[in-house]
């Protein structure tokens, strides 16, 4: 009965070890799909490569279906799953900063380490930026403490806000995601670049 | 293009299935039948009336008496400081914070031990700690604390001490007044310590 750590079926140390193995697998898949190319990530913004959208929404759909089916079979207790609490202004502010960094740097935090591991210097610069940001945030924390903690909403779920069951919400998100994939592939053709061939397999 | 069709062919049917089936809201039991049986055999869930009276006289803030009888019976008579959670409402969400916690010693009581024991068994199987049962219930409570019987003059000292303590508790808690019997200082009855609870929160993560 999951979650394995919360129910003390495996120890936190074993959990870390499993996370390490999964992390290696995650990095391997990212790298082998070209996610260590900053052009692939920036392409999301310009529309010539929407792989990022497709990968992350496919992951979300897989995760949603997996959790709901495992809950249905009694393999996992969904009430013990950690749900990131919502601080509305932090989420919006953080989203804007992350998005700008994404376009400017061409990496997200995960893929920057992926790219650094194959020796890309711009990824190293990006990681330097991450640490600079962490330092700035923590050292000047009193300045944005109020903003950081403002508009705390608990852990609302889209399904409960809209008054739908989790299953119906999942079906809706699947349909929306497939629609977005279709728009994404249309955009890839519309905004295709002659010098960019990564997504033309 | 083809990949998207395959993806759609897999995830849309799965999505329809998950949208159609009801949500699984059953709460799993955390203890196996064997684990529960061994706890029942040892009787670790019981607190003697003396131990409970001790906490009540000392006005120990960690004691929480929980009356699991009906609210009608609760209004007629209840122990001082007790709250009423009728057995049939035991699993309602408003009481979860009271029953599943690690700062208080909850003591269930009913007229005998039976209903209180049922409440304890359910909460224990849900993995809740720090819940106990008043041994013998209110009937035994009335017998021992409210109207203690004076032991024979030849009784051992401990017996006398217990009688004295019960008398004092009875007076403090509003029972019948009884005459004093000479005996040495009473020893404190064994009181269980509050067990800290492991916070069941999973690890945070992110991209």
pLDDT, tens digit, for every residue of B82-136? 899 998 888 888 888 888 888 888 999 999 888 899 899 888 888 888 899 998 8
CB contact under 8 A, B15 and A1: no
Closest chain A residue to the Cα of B24, Cα to Cα: A72
**Distance between CA atoms of residues B167 and B129, nearest Å:** 31
Q: Residue B88: inside a domain, yes or no?
A: yes
Residues 6+ away with beta carbon under 8 Å from B85: B66, B67, B68, B95, B98, B99, B119
Pick from A45-54, A137-146, B1-10: least confident: B1-10
Q: What is the pLDDT of residue B177?
A: 47
Domain of residue B170 covers 147-187
Number of domains in chain B: 2
Same domain, residue pair B183 and B102: no
**Distance between CA atoms of residues A49 and A59, nearest Å:** 18
Q: Residue B66: inside a domain, yes or no?
A: yes
> Bridge-partner residues for B196, per DSSP?
none
Please tell me if residue B20 touches chain A, with a CB cutoff of 8 Å.
yes
Query: Which H, E and C letters describe chain A, residue by residue?
Result: CECCCCCCCCCHHHHHHHHHHHHHHHHHHHHHCCCCCHHHHHHHHHCCCCHHHHHHHHHHHHHHHHHHHHHHCCCECHHHCCCCCCEHHHHHHHHHHHHHHHHHHCCCHHHHHHHHHCCCHHHHHHHHHHHHHHHHHHHCHHHHHHHHHCCECCCCCHHHHHCCCHHHHHHHHHHHHHHHHHHHHHHHHHCCCCCCCCCCC
Please tell me if residue B93 touches chain A, with a CB cutoff of 8 Å.
no
Same domain, residue pair B50 and B108: yes
C-alpha closest to that of B77 among B87, B67, B85: B67
Tell me the three state secondary structure of residue B66: strand
Same domain, residue pair B128 and B165: no
Tell me the three state secondary structure of residue B83: strand
What's the mean per-residue pLDDT of chain A?
Answer: 88
Tell me the three state secondary structure of residue B95: helix
pLDDT tier for residue A194 given thresholds of 50, 70 and 90? confident
CB contact under 8 A, A72 and B198: no
A35 to chain B, closest Cα gap in Å: 13
Same domain, residue pair B75 and B151: no
Same domain, residue pair B156 and B99: no
Which tokens sit at A30? 């990212």
CB contact under 8 A, A170 and B201: no
Higher-scoring residue by pLDDT: A25, B4: A25
Please tell me if residue B11 touches chain A, with a CB cutoff of 8 Å.
yes
pLDDT of B207 above 70:
no
B24 to chain A, closest Cα gap in Å: 5
CATH of the domain at B111: 3.40.250.10
Least CB–CB distance from A168: residue in B19, B28, B30: B19
Same domain, residue pair B56 and B136: yes
CA distances from B114 to A178, B109, B121, B133, B192 (A): 57, 9, 11, 9, 21
Same domain, residue pair B129 and B152: no
C-alpha closest to that of A127 among A111, A143, A142, A140: A111
For B130-171, the DSSP string reads SEEEETTHHHHHIIIIISPPPPPTTS-HHHHHHHHHHHHHHH
Q: Residue B20: inside a domain, yes or no?
A: no
In chain B the beta strands, taken as DSSP E runs, fall at 46-47, 63-67, 83-84, 105-109, 131-134
Which tokens sit at A172? 């809706």
Same domain, residue pair B42 and B56: yes
Same domain, residue pair B163 and B84: no
CB contact under 8 A, A80 and B202: yes
The tens digit of pLDDT for each residue in A20-75 reads 999 999 989 888 888 888 888 888 888 888 888 888 899 999 999 999 999 888 88
Which A residues in the span 106-145 are in contact with B, Cβ-Cβ below 8 Å?
Answer: 108-110
Q: Residue B45: inside a domain, yes or no?
A: yes
Please tell me if residue B33 touches chain A, with a CB cutoff of 8 Å.
no
Name every chain B residue with its beta carbon within 8 A of the beta carbon of A50: none
Give percent of chain A above pLDDT 90. 38
Same domain, residue pair B134 and B97: yes
Task: State the greatest distance between any 2 C-alpha atoms of chain A, in Å, as a whole number.
Answer: 54
Same domain, residue pair B61 and B154: no
**Distance between CA atoms of residues B11 and A62, nearest Å:** 8
Name every chain B residue with its beta carbon within 8 A of the beta carbon of A12: 203
Q: What is the pLDDT of residue B181?
A: 46
Same domain, residue pair B46 and B128: yes
User: Where do the structural domains in chain A lie, given as residue ranges?
Assistant: 84-156
Q: Within 13 Å and on the Cβ side, how many CA atoms surround B189?
A: 21
Contact (Cβ atoms closer than 8 angstroms) between residue A102 and residue A45: yes
Reading phi first (left if > 0) and then psi (alpha if -120 to 50, else beta), residue B185 is in: beta
């Amino acid at each position: 009965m999951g979650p394995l750590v919360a129910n003390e079926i495996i120890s936190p140390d074993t959990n870390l070890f499993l996370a390490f193995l999964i992390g290696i697998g995650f990095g391997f898949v990212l790298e082998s799909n070209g996610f260590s190319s900053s052009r692939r990530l920036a392409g999301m913004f310009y529309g010539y490569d929407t792989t990022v959208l497709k990968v992350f929404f496919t992951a979300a759909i897989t995760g949603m279906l997996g959790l709901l089916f495992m809950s249905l079979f009694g393999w996992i207790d969904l009430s013990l799953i950690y749900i990131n609490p919502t601080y509305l202004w932090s989420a919006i502010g953080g989203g804007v900063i992350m998005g700008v960094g994404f376009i400017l740097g061409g990496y997200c935090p995960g893929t920057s380490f992926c790219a650094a591991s194959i020796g890309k210097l711009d990824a190293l610069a990006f990681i330097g930026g991450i640490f600079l940001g962490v330092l700035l945030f923590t050292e000047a924390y009193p300045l944005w403490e109020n903003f950081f903690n403002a508009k705390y909403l608990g852990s609302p779920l889209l399904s409960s806000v809209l008054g739908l069951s989790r299953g119906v919400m999942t079906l809706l998100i699947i349909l929306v995601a497939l629609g977005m994939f279709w728009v994404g592939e249309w955009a890839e053709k519309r905004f295709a670049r002659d010098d960019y061939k990564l997504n033309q397999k | 293009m083809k990949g998207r069709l395959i993806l759609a062919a897999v995830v849309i049917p799965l999505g329809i299935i998950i949208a159609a089936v009801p949500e699984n809201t059953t709460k799993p039991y955390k203890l196996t039948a064997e684990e529960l049986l061994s706890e029942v055999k040892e009787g670790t869930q019981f607190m003697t009336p003396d131990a409970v009276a001790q906490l009540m006289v000392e006005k120990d803030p960690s004691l929480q008496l929980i009356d699991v009888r009906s609210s009608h019976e609760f209004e007629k008579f209840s122990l001082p400081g007790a709250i009423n959670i009728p057995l049939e409402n035991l699993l309602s969400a408003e009481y979860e914070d009271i029953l599943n916690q690690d700062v208080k010693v909850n003591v269930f009581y009913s007229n005998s031990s039976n209903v209180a024991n049922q409440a304890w068994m359910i909460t224990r199987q849900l993995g809740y700690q720090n819940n106990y049962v008043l041994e013998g219930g209110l009937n035994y409570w009335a017998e021992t604390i409210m109207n203690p019987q004076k032991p024979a003059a030849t009784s051992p000292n401990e017996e006398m001490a217990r009688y004295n303590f019960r008398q004092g508790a009875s007076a403090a808690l509003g029972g019948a007044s009884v005459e004093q019997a000479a005996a040495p200082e009473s020893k404190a009855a064994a009181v269980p310590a509050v067990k800290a609870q492991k916070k069941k929160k999973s690890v945070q993560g992110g991209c």
